[in-house]
């Protein structure tokens, strides 16, 4: 029986998970070189909150927008989310996965989880926020994901303020 598992991956793990999944491809639409999880489809059996019909996604990473990425639906045309690794912008972020979610994801150990949070891009970059309350967690072994709801985190955490806080702790 899985136990409640906190996820706060070490810095080196955060930077190693995505490159292992990605290969370089050229986008036909933009002509830019982007990293894409090629032939890899992330499955969300329940969909994403408010978009339950969107169950399959791919992750696009471009050098031009790093550390952000684009989580694109394969089921709903035009649906995608800008996202970021939340551990990069919040100095003490901690994701606790309940036994129920561990079982649903078939997650044997927290190290096999990749966590992403959705970003709301503002006209002024200083006002851009990230949703720390409802991250998506993906088992990198079986590519199954689920959006989970945490406690005590904001839906709109200011990324700029988070980066400034991280600079103070470095």
Distances (CA, A) of 134 to 21, 33, 44, 59, 148: 23, 30, 14, 18, 5
Query: What are the tens digits of pLDDT across the range 63-85?
Result: 888 889 999 999 999 999 999 99
Higher pLDDT, 29 or 43: 43
Structure tokens at 46: 């329940």
List beta partners, residue 56: 43
Domains and CATH numbers, the chain: 5-169 (2.30.290.10)
What confidence score (pLDDT) does residue 42 get? 94
pTM summary value: 0.78
pLDDT digits (tens, 9 = 90+) for 109-138: 888 899 999 999 988 888 999 999 999 999
């Amino acid at each position: 029986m899985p136990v409640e598992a906190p996820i706060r991956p070490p810095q080196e793990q955060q930077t190693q998970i995505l490159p292992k999944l990605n290969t370089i491809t050229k986008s036909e639409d933009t002509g830019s070189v982007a990293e894409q999880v090629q032939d890899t489809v992330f499955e969300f059996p329940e969909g994403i909150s408010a978009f339950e019909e969107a169950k399959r996604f791919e992750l696009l990473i471009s050098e031009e927008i790093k550390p952000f990425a684009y989580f694109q639906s394969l089921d709903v045309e035009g649906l995608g989310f800008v996202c970021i690794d939340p551990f990069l912008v919040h100095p003490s972020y901690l994701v606790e996965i309940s036994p129920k979610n561990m079982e649903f994801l078939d997650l044997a150990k927290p190290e096999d989880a990749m966590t992403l949070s959705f970003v709301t891009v503002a006209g002024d970059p200083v006002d851009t926020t990230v949703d720390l309350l409802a991250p998506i967690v993906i088992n990198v072994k079986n590519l199954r994901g689920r959006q989970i709801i945490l406690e005590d985190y904001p839906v709109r955490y200011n990324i700029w303020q988070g980066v400034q806080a991280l600079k103070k702790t470095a």
